[in-house]
Amino acid sequence: MQSARRDARARAVMTALPIRIAALYQFARLDDPVAIKPGLQASMESNGVRGTLLLAREGINGTIAGSDDAIEAVLDHVRTLPGCAMIEVKESRAATMPFHRTKVRLKKEIVTMGQPDLDPLAGVGTYVAPEDWNALISDPDTILIDTRNDYEVQIGTFAGAIDPETRSFREFPDWFRAKRDEIEAEGRSPRIAMFCTGGIRCEKSTAFARAEGVKEVFHLKGGILNYLEHVPEAESLWQGECFVFDERVSVGHGLKPGDHALCRACRRPLSAEDMTHEHFEEGVSCHRCWDERTGDQRARYAERQRQEMLAEARGAEHVGRREEADTDD
């Protein structure tokens, strides 16, 4: 009886939320990403799957969306790639397609840290399951670090986490070295726990910390998304929402879509209060990017927004719509 009820609930969710979203990454040694790209692109296109996948010699990373059968077909293709048979995939669902394009991009790194000699396959930190994470980060001897960029941290993080205030993951190594020196100057031997959205940045950040000589390094297996999926809200130490790189913008516990919107000019998340600011204009600017753009740029954004609204009124997709941000930085 309980099994039948679960199956009925699952069917109801699939009907209400027909789009399957798969966030995936795998560090693997891909000797020829250029040769891999056409087949992967064809698999996505032939199955009507949208989103972005990044390919590099160090592996694959990205988020894709489509029907259940379509996503399974693309994942089957991905699993045939060298070292990707057991690829990590985190799934959620949406009522509408969260991506506009289908892209496979070649990159130097699948998550850009700017440390070309770092090999995550050689030694990352110790994985910590979501159900064990609270105990680790509640220990006063644990130094908890959020490895994401500043605009991600602003809308949600774990209680007590240090925000490096980085605008790019490339800034993290210099920040970490300075922070480690500060901690050691206090006479402390650092025991570090790190976390990120889906786990990929922590593969590199913990490998980097270990390469720098830090012995006790831990990270949240599967990232924030895995935690929000499996840890009940009543037991959670997460505060706020988690930024995601698609049209959902943010998610909360149970991976339910959050309340944030997106600034189409700078791709930063916006709260309801942010959208009441005098410098917010849909598709054109927000208070965070107003001083970063020129008047000419804002005029172009305004025209783009106007064309998108006209296309939407016709039931079409505007060809000039801004592409989704990559998830590698």
Q: How confident is the model at residue 22, as a pLDDT? A: 95
- Nearest residue to 264 (alpha-carbon basis) of 233, 304, 227: 304
Average pLDDT, the chain: 90
Domains 17-105 and 120-240 share a fold: no
Give the β-pairing of 88-94 and 142-146: unpaired
Q: Of 323, 126, 130, 81, which Cα lies nearest the Cα of 233?
A: 130
pLDDT bucket at 312, cuts 50 / 70 / 90:
confident
In the block, which residue shows the tokens 């099994």? 3
- Give the SS3 label for residue 193: strand
Given 196, 202, 263, 286, which residue is catalytic? 196
In Å, how far are 17, 27, 80, 104, 164 from 83, measured between CA atoms? 32, 8, 8, 18, 32
Is the pLDDT at 193 greater than 70? The verdict is yes
> pLDDT digits over 243-257, tens only?
998 888 999 999 999
Q: How confident is the model at residue 109, as a pLDDT?
A: 93
6 or 122, greater pLDDT:
122
Question: What is residue 190's predicted lDDT score, i.e. its pLDDT?
Answer: 79
Q: Which alpha helices (H) appear in the chain, and where do they start and end?
A: 2-16, 33-46, 68-78, 130-138, 150-153, 172-185, 200-211, 223-230, 295-313
pLDDT at 11: 52
pLDDT above 70 as % of the chain: 91
50 Cβ partners below 8 Å, 6+ apart? 44, 64, 65, 66, 97, 99, 100, 101, 102
Q: What is the mean pLDDT of residues 179-203?
A: 90
Task: State the pLDDT at residue 7.
Answer: 47
Sorted by sequence, the CB contacts under 8 Å of residue 268 that are 6+ apart come out as: 151, 262, 286, 288, 289
Residue 324 binned pLDDT confidence (cut-offs 50, 70, 90) = very low
For residue 189, is pLDDT > 50? yes
Closest to 193 measured CA to CA, from 249, 126, 98: 126
Q: What is the pLDDT of residues 155-179, one digit of tens each?
A: 999 999 999 999 999 999 999 999 9
Kindly indicate the confidence band of residue 6, based on its pLDDT and cuts at 50, 70 and 90: very low
84 among known catalytic residues: no
% of the chain exceeding 90 in pLDDT: 78
pLDDT-derived band at 316 (thresholds 50, 70, 90) equals low
**Can you give the pTM of this predicted structure?**
0.83
CA distance 288 to 151: 10
Sequence spans of domains, the chain:
17-105, 120-240, 261-313
Q: What pLDDT, on a 0 to 100 scale, did the predictor assign at position 322?
A: 47
Q: Cα–Cα distance between 114 and 279 in angstroms, integer?
A: 34
Q: Could you read off the pLDDT of 116-142 as tens digits, one per residue?
A: 788 888 888 999 999 999 999 999 999
Query: Taking CA 249 as the corner, what is the angle to CA 262 and CA 161, rounded to the nearest 5 degrees?
Result: 105
Which tops the pLDDT comparison, 311 or 222?
222
Q: Taking residues 206-213, what's their average pLDDT? A: 94
Q: Which CATH architecture has domain 17-105?
A: 2-Layer Sandwich (3.30)
Please give the residue that has the higher pLDDT: either 120 or 73: 73
**Could you write out the DSSP letters of every residue in 11-55?**
HHHHHHS-EEEEEEEEE---S-HHHHHHHHHHHHHHTT-EEEEEE
Single-letter residue type at 188? R
Torsion over CA: 323, 326, 327, 329 (sign): negative
First and final CA of the chain: distance in angstroms? Answer: 47
Write the CB contacts of 318 (distance below 8 Å, at least 6 apart in sequence).
304, 307, 308, 310, 311, 312
- The pLDDT value recorded for residue 52 is 96
Confirm if 327 and 62 have CB atoms less than 8 A apart.
yes
* Segment 234-244 mean pLDDT: 97
Residue 329 has pLDDT above 70, yes or no: no
Structure-token match 């000039």, residue found: 320
Name the residue among 145, 113, 137 with its Cα closest to residue 211. 113
Q: What pLDDT is recorded for position 184?
A: 86
Q: Is the pLDDT of residue 16 over 80?
A: no
- At residue 2, the pLDDT reads 47
Mean pLDDT for the stretch of residues 142-159: 96
pLDDT given for residue 318 in this prediction:
52
* CATH fit for domain 120-240, picks 3.40.630.40, 1.20.1260.10, 3.40.250.10, 3.40.50.10420: 3.40.250.10
CA distances from 115 to 13, 28, 170, 171, 327 (A): 42, 17, 8, 11, 17
* DSSP SS3 for 158: strand
